[in-house]
Structure 1
């Protein structure tokens, strides 16, 4: 069965760094049999109605500014699967989910940064699905995606374990609040399911220090729901720019 994984994608300049998460991504791709397809849910594509990219090929979206010129020349010839995308749309619609296909959505950096390292040959079809803007819809989407894992489809949800861009620093100093939040997050993930995550996302005192907005944390709800109740485990943990959390969780 293919895994469900939440990855922290970091800043786009991750690709031109020597950060250890690049080794983790490479090893992750090598450690698992090539999936039939990867469904990717990124923090950088949020919508009310679930949207599924159904084109045969993807352009890249350079949805960032102020980085090295070479990052805007990055190429990753990711392929889609129109037949599979429409099949998933039909199955979601049959479950009562408001869903539509889109034919011109590119891959944002939340998707292509990890995918370019995990599958550098771009030889696995990618189905990009938008992140619902309501928690219950995230969980419903994750529940459905969890059923695809037995069909050879990997679920990759991309966000960030700690994502407060105002509290970054170039000295590489990770403050206690960031580490404490990651510890609390890991405890919630290890519980399994989504209940403890929802409690953390409602009542955790450090929540808005770690996530002034929640779109980079919400993909974890999808990944956890796709875990079908199994406890998650911390498979990678580090920080970049001081307080930018890079933890990854597998279900």
Structure 2
């Protein structure tokens, strides 16, 4: 069965960087069997109804400003896979999750920056999926769980976001790690490895520095979505964790 993954996408410039985290992403395709398709939830595509990408091919969305000129020349011309989009919509319907298809939207940087690092040739079909911050955490998990069967069809499920993502607290000159960010991630690691769903669903009340780490939930949600698709075996493995700008978490979780 194909594992599911959570990737932090960091700042858009991550696609140009060379560090331990990008090295992991660049080696991903050598360590993982090639999937038949990729299903990706991006923190940067928010909808109040679950939306399933169904474009025949994806444009590249530059949903950021003030970064290197090179980023605005990059493209990720992945193909869509209409049958898979419809299959996903059917799975959602089976689980009582309303959804709609979107035949026009391209890939935002939460999607293409990660994909360009792990599969730079854009030779694997992609189905992009939205997130909805207005659902509770148990509902997020159930959305991921609804797609678990896709893993048996060699489909790679990815959640792209960030566990500590507070742009107002970034220190662009810092080379250290803020203690509050590490404290939150340490708590999160212990609960993920124990698959402690009650604690995770109530992380805002239970985790140290949750408000600082997750001021808004859209970047955290993809973690629960990816985790939900691993509900059958419930094995969580931290593959990498580092930080940029004092507290921007770069982490990769594998869910078997």
Into which bin does the TM-score normalised by the smaller protein fall?
Answer: over 0.9
How many pairs were matched up?
251
Counterpart pick for 1:233 among 234, 237, 248: 237
Question: SS where residue 200 of structure 2 aligns?
Answer: helix
Cα distance in structure 2, aligned partners of 1:232 and 1:242: 26
Superposition CA RMSD, Å: 1.4
Q: Is 1:181 aligned with 2:173? A: no
Maintained 8 Å contact 1:189/1:196: no
User: What TM-score do the two structures reach when normalised by structure 1?
Assistant: 0.95
Residue of structure 2 in register with 1:137 after alignment: 139
Equivalence for 1:194: 197
The 1:198/1:136 distance shift into structure 2, 3 A limit, reads closer
SS at match of 1:65: coil
Distance change in 2, residues 1:201/1:37 (3 Å): farther
Which of the residues 148, 161, 168 maps onto 1:166? 168
Q: 1:209 is matched with which residue?
A: 212
Task: Give the conservation status (yes or no) of the 8 Å contact 2:177–2:246.
Answer: yes
C-alpha contact (below 8 Å) 1:193/1:228 kept by paired residues: no
Separation in structure 2 between the aligned mates of residue 94 and residue 176 of structure 1, nearest angstrom = 44
> Residue 242 of structure 1 aligns with which residue?
246
Residues 68-108 of structure 1 deviation map (CA, whole Å, 9 limit, x = unaligned) = 11111111111110121112212322332111101111111
SS state of the match for residue 215, structure 1?
A: helix
Runs of 5+ unmatched residues, structure 1: none
Q: Contact 2:132 / 2:218 at 8 angstroms: preserved in 1?
A: no
Q: Which runs of 5+ in 2 are unaligned?
A: none
Cα shift readout 1:102-153 (whole Å, capped 9, x = no counterpart): 1111111111111001111111110101113313431221111222111111
CA drift of 1:203 comes to: 2.6
Residue of structure 1 equivalent to 2:106: 106
Tell me, in whole angstroms, the C-alpha distance in 2 between the residues paired with 1:175 and 1:132: 29
CA apart distance, 1:32: 1.0
TM-score, structure 2 length as denominator? Answer: 0.94
Q: Which runs of 4+ in 1 moved over 4 A?
A: none
